[in-house]
Amino acid sequence: MDSPIKICCIGAGYVGGPTMAMIAKQCPDVEVHVVDLNQSRIDQWNSDELPIYEPGLDEVVREARGRNLTFSSRIEAAIQHANMIFIAVNTPTKSFGIGVGRAANLEFIEKCARQIAECSTGHKIVVEKSTLPVRTAEAVKRILNSSANGATFDVLSNPEFLAEGTAVQDLLYPDRVLIGGESQEAINRLAQVYGRWIPKDRILTTNLWSSELSKLAANAFLAQRVSSINAISALCEATGADVDEVAKAIGTDSRIGPKFLKSSVGFGGSCFQKDILNLVYLCENFGLHEVAQYWEQVVIMNDYQKRRFSERIVSTMFNTVSDKKIAIWGFAFKKDTNDTRESAAIHVCHNLLEERARLVIYDPRVHESKIRSDLKMAFSDVNGVLSDKHKQLIETNVTVVQDAYVAAKEAHAIAVLTEWDEFKQVDAKRVFDGMRRPAFIFDGRNIVDRSKLTQQGFEVHCIGRS
């Protein structure tokens, strides 16, 4: 009989934390130990206020924590004890050296592999959970095989497809689980874990390289749909077509499908841009320049969409926003998360601040400290240095408040940058009464009730509508 599965996961981030909590909840007999270098993150996982906001996650963690789910920074001990080790550390875009701005920085992955090699004995299955360039497993295997303790390893690729804000549902009912590997025995061991709650026909197995590439390709396809509809939104504004009507009309074609056709101020999140740039870099490395250019256009279109939105605000408001108060509704990259990585809001706020607007920012989940540090980062140079001038600009021109109405008070305009449900339900009269005239709304998510707000007296500007 197989020995019991004992899991260690390195990386208690947006992916490692929720995924391991779900495995622990669904498999009470499997020990799950999540470790991270960052002690304060671990402390948060052990507290009542988890480091990430995900609907339903508190309950999942509460059920398993202290039973078969542990969070700690005892990395070595956890590796030694486990027979299955997930690597879920971050793989940011390189900010230096060869491949700067495109390639994935694999420093953390390599460090994890070395640490696993150093402190392992016996046989272990190492699972790549992080999104990685194709053929990273090759390097991971070589490092692991250099283990001086005679330990042996199987390497699997098991990319995570959960989306933030719906992580718990995505983990409970995934469209598919993908496991790539060479050893059928190792694949079966991991499939056994997921098989506790996921139907067998949803567990796909492939070779290692297909699995690594599928994650990059899935994100590239999803981002491409958003850039495609955003490209059409620009044409809608020029022609009088309505992008939501166009999206509905094309989405009813069963070959196209209705999902991921919501035009917006631009996609954000930790994955789309990073993974496409990573794909572009890979293509270039293999001499596939046309393929690289094709995918790069998805990111170029997204940058254009963010810039276009900011420019529209300025041009509509009589070509100047200097010293005007603009309420920013929403800072997260999408609703139901406190994550701001690559959020379109950062770019729009940056552009408006460059025009010397005064911003009053409200987001129901993002802390003020995070908003300020993101804006400081946006104004920093390539070496991370923030000039005194920009520091001063952020200090004097940015206010963060805890209420959408307070943000809009005496504002010349509102920019809706995240599709939080509460923005759909605001008391239009109350907002309007507090604002200056003309009262502009720039809806970067097409969520407000345009006809109701127009009737109220607002001048409403949506994406993809002239």
Question: For binding to ligand UDX (CB under 6 A), which residues are involved?
Answer: 10-16, 36-38, 41, 88-91, 108, 111-112, 130-131, 160-164, 219, 222, 226, 260-262, 264, 267-272, 333-334
Q: Which residue is nearest to ligand UDX (CB)?
A: 13
The residue (of 136 and 397) whose beta carbon lies closer to ligand UDX is 136
- Strand, helix or coil for residue 466: coil
The residue (of 83 and 219) whose beta carbon lies closer to ligand UDX is 219
The residue (of 114 and 372) whose beta carbon lies closer to ligand UDX is 114
Task: Name residue 108's amino acid.
Answer: F
User: How far is the C-alpha of 294 from the C-alpha of 297, rounded, in Å?
Assistant: 6
Single out the residue of 418, 417, 217 nearest to residue 298, CA to CA: 217
CB atoms within 10 A of CB 357: 26
Dihedral sign from CA coordinates of 21, 23, 24, 25? positive
CB of 274 to ligand UDX, least distance (A): 6
Q: Are strands 31-35 and 413-416 parallel, antiparallel or unpaired?
A: unpaired
Task: Name residue 423's amino acid.
Answer: F
User: How far is the C-alpha of 222 from the C-alpha of 228, rounded, in Å?
Assistant: 10
User: How far is the C-alpha of 51 from the C-alpha of 40, rounded, in Å?
Assistant: 9
Q: How far apart are the first and last CA of the chain?
A: 67
- Residue 186: half-sphere exposure toward Cβ, Cα within 13 Å: 24
CB of 344 to ligand UDX, least distance (A): 7
Catalytic residues: 271
Residues 370, 340: contact at Cβ < 8 Å? yes
The residue (of 331 and 458) whose beta carbon lies closer to ligand UDX is 331
List the alpha helices (DSSP H) in 286-387: 289-316, 344-354, 368-379
Residue with tokens 């079966």: 188
